[in-house]
Structure 1
Amino acid sequence: MTALSSPDSPPRPASHRRAWLACGVVGATLLALIALGHDGRRIAQLAVLALPAVLWLLWPLHSARMRQLRTVFVWLWVMGFALDAAVRAYLLDTYQAAPDGAMVLGAAANTNAREGGEYLWMHWRSAVVWCAVLVAAGVLVGMFARRGAVASAASARPSRGITALVALALLLSCVAYASKPWRRLHPAIFWTQWVDSLHTLQAAWADQQKQRDRLMAQAEGIAPVITQAGPSTVVLVITDSINRDNMGLYGYGRATTPRLQAHKAQAGEQMTVLKNAWSVDASTLPALRNMFHFGLPEGDDPPHVLALARAAGYKVWWISNHDDLAIEQQHARFADVVDMVNRTPGRASASLDGEILDCVQEALADTGTERKLIVVHLMGAHPHYSLRFPANANPFDDDVDAVESGLVKEGRSAWVRRFRQEYDAALLYHDFVVSELLQQTRAPGDPGKPGKPGKPGEYRAWMYLSDHGQEVGHVSDRAGHSPATASGYRIPAVVWRNREPLPAEAAQQPFRADWTGWTLMNLLHIQWNGQQAERDVLGSSYRWQAPRIPVAVESFTR
């Protein structure tokens, strides 16, 4: 190695000085990139793992072809670490999540190529910023990686101190690679294992039949019973990405829910708006898992709500506007009738929620079934917001109203304000769909009249809630899923039934979406030996327990 001459050696050739400069610039760039996506001791661990390629720039090479090979290798090496850091930094900044966290793995396993492209299109600004960082780093590294040491007749021997320092650095790097906890942080190893984890998760989802059979057998063993005689129809409407702060029903400044508000005025005590509803998850898969497993941990081997309903004697429908493998396998396939209306892969497909209305009408009109549970799964306001309502149906895009002025005052960017307009337009269309579902459920029972399905004297109930909320400029200048702000957890929840009035105190009680199963059992009039009445928001024994969510919440009662 001829990186630095000894005190008695001739002055270093310019090529050697360039090699040290190249090593310094490439190393500093690499360290800066690593620091973007890692913190604490992991920065040092990644830096040690990256050392060998950087130090190679100090090794003099005779062959021009070998120097070219070194340039390419060093560039690819550094850019591998750079890409790893950029992805981690993006996830950390946007979701406060690591790539191998359950939320990210679940979302990635539940995403196809088209959906990934749609997601990037929505978040193209962030993608442009990080791509610009990577391009700048790539150009800089490429320029200096070409300046590695060149062997020549004027080469001087390195000093003992420099030789010892380089040898120590290489030894430390070898020790790091010998250590599994360190080695697995290397981007090539980490992302290979990440892909394996992804495939394992997808394979598990694709083979859920045994799990469903086990849960059905468990439900039959529990032997739930229906405590109310006569025909019964219960409709559960689960929507996606709705923040109650954007609903006129909850006091929002824009008229986003005029139809639901009209229903509330007409229904009186038969309809309750749960003012303080919260999700305990900021993404769909864990939210639905908790809803249908009573919010109980896996270790308790909780039953599935739909399995219990079927075991008790209900015929179950699952009508969805999602094209979603995980949800279909984990929940929808428990139903007797599964109708996946949306046939286009990707949550950002343009299938409007109104497409499910005819399917729900048919289910309600099935007069050959005594007891029905109809689960409706809507896209709601899942990004892209502009695809959640018909074209040219945004009444909020031109007016500078109080909401717009408030966002300007809070310093929200123009693109976030535009997303808020689209989000509110999506909620207005969503209000139409949800209100139609409620109207279909409330319709008087008369099988002889079109549009008025059901049986005379039939008990009917309807429950509506969102899986999680959405941040659209509420507390930060961004739009989308948000596990790091309360907006990601603030959801609507509404209950209606046509028999006895709903308890007035329920409206003011805080409500957890992961306890939905307990309330649904009440609406279904199902009793079983695992009943926990203190978790049923409609029951007299209800006792609130604040959930553990990764954000600070001043109060769960507002």
Structure 2
Amino acid sequence: MNTPSAEAPRTPQPAHTARSSALLACAVVGATLAVLITLGHDGRRIAQLALLASPLVLWLAWPLRSARMRRLRTLLVTLWTLGFGLDAVVRAYLLDTYQAAPDSALVLGAAANTHARESAEYLWMHWRSAFVWSAALVTAGVIAALFARRGAIASDAPGRRPPRWAVALVSLLLLGACLAYASKPWRRLHPVLFWTHWSQSVQQQRATWADQQKVRDRLAAQARAIAPVVTRAGPSTVVLVVTDSINRDNMALYGYGRPTTPRLLAHQAQAGAQMAVLKNAWSVDASTVPALRNMFHFGLPDSQEPPHVLALARAAGYKVWWISNHDDIAIEQQHARHADVVDMVNRTPGRASASLDGEILDCVQEALADTGTERKLIVVHLMGAHPHYSLRFPENANPFDDDVDAVETGLVKSGRSAWVRHFRQQYDAALLYHDFVVSELLQQTRSAGKPQDYRAWMYLSDHGQEVGHGSDRAGHSPSTASGYRIPTVLWRNQQPLSAEALQQPFRADWTGWALMDLLHIQWNGQMPERNVLSEGYRWQAPAIPVAADAFWR
């Protein structure tokens, strides 16, 4: 009587059939990896990543007798493909959306400045793109899993040796892979090593931001050594309003077709020469952290050891407030903590929190009413229209979501999709609410103190926003003009503002020079050619991906 075996005997495959199946598995899995790598890389990096990915692909050509080892091989090859694929699709998404590599300053800064909740909200807003790229990755994984099962199987059947050309090709590829792994610059491109190092860079960035006290102490000492002086006697109150993600093209104050800024228009009619709307204002950065760094460090590079605007103001005798609706560790550590009084109204993690900007109005009024100091600088940092747009205005306060107006018709003619038009409606509703907050801040400043006291107010955005202006997408846009087109408005109750001079283009990274003028602070590092309020102002176009003639409109 025969004893049944634990595993049914395998019917041996002819040798040429087994080799064909194994070669097909190598070819399909290799081609799948090649397509994925090409999506996220270019130039010689495609060849470098292909060599780094080749060992497990070539493993499919190595005959295995054990069924357990073949299952393990199938699993490992599938995970290997998904690992390289995930690396590629993330790179491809960043390249397509932001024209940036994952290890660029833009992406590292954004990742270091992002909480888990904000990441989830970002993915929820951009779920369409996430779905497309995820579907591509899953498809590649399924293909790899199906064909990895067809890897070479050791057979008891007699057969010829593999062709010499196949042995030579495999040997050549293995040699190339060994050289790739031996080379440190090549080896660091491997997804496991690259993203491990990337994660460490993000953590290092966060640690650097969290350990800013020594930097602030150094900047304070530097400001005292500069010895800035206030040239105007008497009480002085200056309010700087910095908002987020506002594109001036969506403001009726700048000629937009929807009534998004009725209150600021009313202020403009009332204030006359005391108020100036800078028609050609530009940011030089398309994201918040570098934009604010430039604003408060005069647009100077780190190599020149530029002073901090708030440290100079304090050294000159101003009491400084920082009132913010952001919960942002980078901005708090790099800028807010330079102030005498720091009031972070919004303490919900993530810039996509539902805290409305109107929450800061009472805090600003308290600062304006403070009688303990003669000179005040109040910095107000708003959420503005930072995505999600629907969280930037009160519920059921969108007057643009029903009517088919000229703006909607224009978007349809331009081929903008329904979801981009929907975001435009929300964005414009956010600007309408933003107009209420900003105009209230201006009114508070105009009404503060005694009529003869000097008061000034400056408002601008850190960067712009693309909402169907130049492409069928919504969000940050570092590669188009919409990412840099910002509003800038000045008001002061003394010394009328020259309308002719203020028709020139303005750079947000030169904000500090104008702010020093509004504060009447003099110091030995002044550059009147960068002060838009000075007769010596000389425009210089920044290095951003916008045509030179665009700065004049």
TM-score (norm 2): 0.97
Q: Which amino acid aligns with 2:17?
A: A
In structure 2, the residue matched to 1:492 is: 487
Give the counterpart of 2:469 among 442, 459, 474.
474
Q: Are 1:293 and 2:297 matched, yes or no?
A: yes
In structure 2, the residue matched to 1:197 is: 201
Instruction: Confirm or deny: 8 A CA contact 1:461 1:496 kept in the other structure.
Output: yes
Q: Are 1:262 and 2:257 matched, yes or no?
A: no
Give the counterpart of 1:231 among 232, 235, 238.
235
Q: Which amino acid aligns with 2:515?
A: L
Post-superposition Cα deviations, 1:154-197, rounded to whole Å, max 9, x if no partner, equal: 25311222212111110011001111111111101100100111
In structure 1, the residue matched to 2:177 is: 173
Which stretch of the first structure deviates more once superposed, 145-154 or 304-313? 145-154
Instruction: Confirm or deny: 8 A CA contact 1:279 1:287 kept in the other structure.
Output: yes
Q: Are 1:531 and 2:534 matched, yes or no?
A: no
In structure 2, the residue matched to 1:63 is: 66
Q: Are 1:249 and 2:249 matched, yes or no?
A: no
In structure 2, the residue matched to 1:5 is: none
Instruction: Confirm or deny: 8 A CA contact 1:535 1:543 kept in the other structure.
Output: yes
Query: What is the Cα-based RMSD across aligned positions, in Å?
Result: 1.0
Post-superposition Cα deviations, 1:346-378, rounded to whole Å, max 9, x if no partner, equal: 111000000000000000000111000000000
Q: Which amino acid aligns with 2:430?
A: A
SS at match of 1:318: strand
Instruction: Confirm or deny: 8 A CA contact 1:274 1:506 kept in the other structure.
Output: no
Cα distance in 2 for partners of 1:529, 1:537 equals 18
Give the counterpart of 1:313 among 308, 314, 317.
317
Q: Which amino acid aligns with 2:525?
A: G
Q: Are 1:12 and 2:7 matched, yes or no?
A: no
How does 1:394-413 map onto structure 2 within 5 Å? 394-413=398-417
In structure 2, the residue matched to 1:83 is: 86
Q: Are 1:209 and 2:213 matched, yes or no?
A: yes
In structure 1, the residue matched to 2:25 is: 22
Instruction: Confirm or deny: 8 A CA contact 1:97 1:104 kept in the other structure.
Output: yes
Cα distance in 1 for partners of 2:407, 2:491 equals 30
Instruction: Confirm or deny: 8 A CA contact 1:22 1:148 kept in the other structure.
Output: yes
Cα distance in 1 for partners of 2:548, 2:53 equals 41
Instruction: Confirm or deny: 8 A CA contact 2:531 2:537 kept in the other structure.
Output: yes
Q: Which amino acid aligns with 2:77?
A: V
Q: Which amino acid aligns with 2:508?
A: A
Q: Which amino acid aligns with 1:47?
A: A
Give the counterpart of 1:465 among 451, 460, 464.
460
Give the counterpart of 1:271 among 254, 275, 282.
275
Q: Which amino acid aligns with 1:511?
A: F
Post-superposition Cα deviations, 1:388-416, rounded to whole Å, max 9, x if no partner, equal: 00000000000110000000000000000
SS at match of 2:197: helix
Q: Are 1:45 and 2:48 matched, yes or no?
A: yes
SS at match of 1:495: strand
Instruction: Confirm or deny: 8 A CA contact 1:463 1:495 kept in the other structure.
Output: yes
Q: Are 1:303 and 2:307 matched, yes or no?
A: yes
Instruction: Confirm or deny: 8 A CA contact 2:327 2:346 kept in the other structure.
Output: yes
Instruction: Confirm or deny: 8 A CA contact 1:272 1:506 kept in the other structure.
Output: no
How does 1:416-495 map onto structure 2 within 5 Å? 416-443=420-447, 453-495=448-490
In structure 1, the residue matched to 2:546 is: 551
Q: Which amino acid aligns with 2:37?
A: I
Instruction: Confirm or deny: 8 A CA contact 1:19 1:57 kept in the other structure.
Output: yes
Offset at residue 507 of structure 1 (A): 3.0
Q: Are 1:366 and 2:378 matched, yes or no?
A: no
SS at match of 2:549: coil
Cα distance in 2 for partners of 1:298, 1:368 equals 35
Post-superposition Cα deviations, 1:281-326, rounded to whole Å, max 9, x if no partner, equal: 0000000000000000111000000000000000000000000000
- Relative to structure 1, the CA distance from residue 26 to residue 190 in structure 2 (aligned partners, 3 Å threshold; closer, same or farther) is same
In structure 1, the residue matched to 2:8 is: none
In structure 1, the residue matched to 2:146 is: 143
Q: Which amino acid aligns with 1:54?
A: V
Cα distance in 1 for partners of 2:451, 2:242 equals 27
How does 1:151-162 map onto structure 2 within 5 Å? 151-154=154-157, 155-162=159-166
Instruction: Confirm or deny: 8 A CA contact 2:15 2:155 kept in the other structure.
Output: no
Post-superposition Cα deviations, 1:83-129, rounded to whole Å, max 9, x if no partner, equal: 00000000000000000000000000000111100000000000111
Instruction: Confirm or deny: 8 A CA contact 2:323 2:378 kept in the other structure.
Output: yes
Offset at residue 381 of structure 1 (A): 0.2
Q: Percent identity?
A: 79
Q: Which amino acid aligns with 2:288?
A: T
In structure 1, the residue matched to 2:346 is: 342
Offset at residue 14 of structure 1 (A): 2.5
Give the counterpart of 1:100 among 87, 92, 103.
103
SS at match of 1:234: strand
Runs of 4+ residues deviating >4 angstroms: none
Q: Which amino acid aligns with 2:138?
A: V
Offset at residue 520 of structure 1 (A): 0.1
SS at match of 2:500: helix
Post-superposition Cα deviations, 1:494-513, rounded to whole Å, max 9, x if no partner, equal: 00000110112233110000
Instruction: Confirm or deny: 8 A CA contact 1:367 1:454 kept in the other structure.
Output: no
Instruction: Confirm or deny: 8 A CA contact 1:367 1:455 kept in the other structure.
Output: no
Instruction: Confirm or deny: 8 A CA contact 2:295 2:510 kept in the other structure.
Output: yes
Cα distance in 1 for partners of 2:510, 2:385 equals 23
Post-superposition Cα deviations, 1:233-283, rounded to whole Å, max 9, x if no partner, equal: 000000000000000000000000000000000000000000000000000
In structure 1, the residue matched to 2:4 is: none
Give the counterpart of 2:390 among 386, 392, 415.
386
Post-superposition Cα deviations, 1:488-543, rounded to whole Å, max 9, x if no partner, equal: 00000000000110112233110000000000000000000000011110111101
Cα distance in 1 for partners of 2:168, 2:485 equals 59
Instruction: Confirm or deny: 8 A CA contact 1:416 1:473 kept in the other structure.
Output: yes
SS at match of 2:234: coil
Cα distance in 2 for partners of 1:506, 1:517 equals 18
Cα distance in 1 for partners of 2:118, 2:165 equals 55
Post-superposition Cα deviations, 1:205-243, rounded to whole Å, max 9, x if no partner, equal: 000000000000000000000000000000000000000
Q: Are 1:415 and 2:410 matched, yes or no?
A: no
Cα distance in 2 for partners of 1:248, 1:506 equals 22
Cα distance in 1 for partners of 2:165, 2:427 equals 63
Offset at residue 18 of structure 1 (A): 1.4
Q: Which amino acid aligns with 1:287?
A: A
Cα distance in 1 for partners of 2:75, 2:528 equals 66
SS at match of 1:376: strand
In structure 2, the residue matched to 1:73 is: 76
Post-superposition Cα deviations, 1:54-91, rounded to whole Å, max 9, x if no partner, equal: 00000000111111111111111111000000000000
SS at match of 2:377: strand
SS at match of 2:15: coil
Q: Which amino acid aligns with 1:72?
A: L
Unmatched segments (≥5 aa) in structure 1: 1-9, 444-452
Instruction: Confirm or deny: 8 A CA contact 1:486 1:553 kept in the other structure.
Output: no
In structure 2, the residue matched to 1:118 is: 121
SS at match of 2:383: coil
TM-score (norm 1): 0.96
Instruction: Confirm or deny: 8 A CA contact 1:231 1:455 kept in the other structure.
Output: no
SS at match of 1:556: helix
